[in-house]
């Protein structure tokens, strides 16, 4: 198999499961460390001509991360494209199994079994409300029907915009502060919130800086995500 991945989390999943299968990945595919494949641009602006030159048997993509026109151009060039849809943790496991099987895996890798076991009974304390910014300038937060929202819910955190009509609504910071959540969850991707960039906008509210990879990626990181995220959330002042 010759596979091109347009999704960083799928790149990691394929590379650790089937070394040598990947021939191309996006510029944002930085895991596993030292991955040596052709780079084909970003997730939103892949070089479809470069992908075609690699003559892949399969391109793996995601309905949220990648644009339909780019995927259509690849199909028009005669390239098979597998598009994942992941809105919750169980769906992540089933989609990962589907992708790996399509890439030639003979069975489920050990890390996937370990990840499913880790999420069978994830650690969760008393439930807390939250707002979860994912971008700044403008402020955008988790809304309805998101994978990250389901991850947090399973860890005892209910984000306040879960019923919003949009999946990633734009909400002014003053409205977020007025919502008075128990905690503001600030991941380091897609926007890189840090101790010096983010918490100052929510003075008086507890903030939890968390790993965006563990919150938003579906791949090998799922095995340790309950522990890593749980520790970060518990560290936030109450």
pLDDT at 121: 86
Q: How far is 168 from 214, CA to CA, in rounded Å?
A: 19
CA distances from 102 to 71, 92, 96, 200 (A): 17, 15, 10, 46
Predicted pLDDT of residue 236 = 81
Shared domain for 142 and 195, answered yes or no, is yes
**How many structural domains compose the chain?**
2
Q: Which range has the worst mean pLDDT, 56-65, 119-128, 204-213?
A: 119-128
In a domain, 120, yes or no: no
CB 14 within 8 A of CB 37: no
The mean pLDDT of the chain is 95
Task: For residue 150, give its domain range.
Answer: 128-235
Residue 119 within a domain: no
Q: The domain spanning residue 42 has which CATH number? A: 3.40.50.1980
Residue 19 CB contacts under 8 Å (≥ 6 apart), including other chains: none
Say whether both 136 and 228 belong to one domain. yes
pLDDT surpassing 90 at residue 198: yes
Omega of the bond prior to 190 within 30 degrees of 0, cis? yes
pLDDT at 215 exceeding the cut of 80: yes
Asked if residue 156 has pLDDT above 90, the reply is yes
pLDDT in tens, 166-183: 999 999 999 999 999 999
Please tell me the number of Cα atoms within 13 Å of 79 on its side-chain side. 27
My answer on whether 143 and 229 are in the same domain is yes
How far is 179 from 171, CA to CA, in rounded Å?
Answer: 11
137: pLDDT strictly greater than 80: yes
Query: What is the mean predicted confidence (pLDDT) over 187-205?
Result: 95
pLDDT at position 237 is 75
- Do 147 and 230 fall into the same domain? yes
Averaged pLDDT for residues 31-44? 93
Q: What is the pTM of this model?
A: 0.92
Same domain? For 133 and 96 the reply is no
Indicate if 196 and 229 belong to the same structural domain: yes
Same domain, 132 and 229: yes
Q: What is the largest CA-CA distance in the chain?
A: 55
């Amino acid at each position: 198999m010759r596979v091109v991945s347009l999704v960083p989390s799928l790149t990691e999943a394929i590379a650790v499961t089937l070394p040598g299968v990947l021939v191309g990945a996006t510029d944002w595919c930085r895991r596993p460390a030292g991955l040596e494949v052709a780079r084909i641009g970003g997730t939103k602006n892949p070089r479809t001509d470069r992908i075609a030159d690699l003559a892949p048997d399969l391109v793996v993509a995601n309905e949220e991360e990648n644009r339909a026109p780019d995927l259509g151009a690849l199909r028009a060039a005669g390239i098979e494209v597998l598009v994942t849809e992941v809105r919750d943790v169980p769906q992540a496991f089933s989609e990962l199994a589907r992708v790996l099987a399509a890439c030639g895996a003979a069975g489920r890798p050990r890390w996937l079994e370990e990840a499913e076991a880790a999420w069978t009974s994830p650690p969760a304390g008393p439930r807390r409300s939250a707002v979860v910014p994912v971008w700044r300038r403008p402020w955008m937060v988790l809304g309805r029907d998101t994978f990250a929202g389901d991850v947090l819910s399973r860890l005892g955190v209910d984000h306040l915009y879960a019923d919003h009509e949009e999946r990633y609504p734009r909400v002014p910071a003053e409205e977020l502060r007025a919502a008075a959540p128990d905690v503001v969850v600030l991941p380091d991707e897609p926007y890189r919130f840090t101790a010096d960039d983010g918490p100052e906008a929510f003075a008086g509210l507890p903030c939890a800086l968390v790993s965006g990879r563990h919150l938003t990626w579906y791949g090998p990181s799922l095995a340790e995500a309950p522990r890593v995220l749980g520790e970060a959330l518990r560290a936030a002042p109450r």
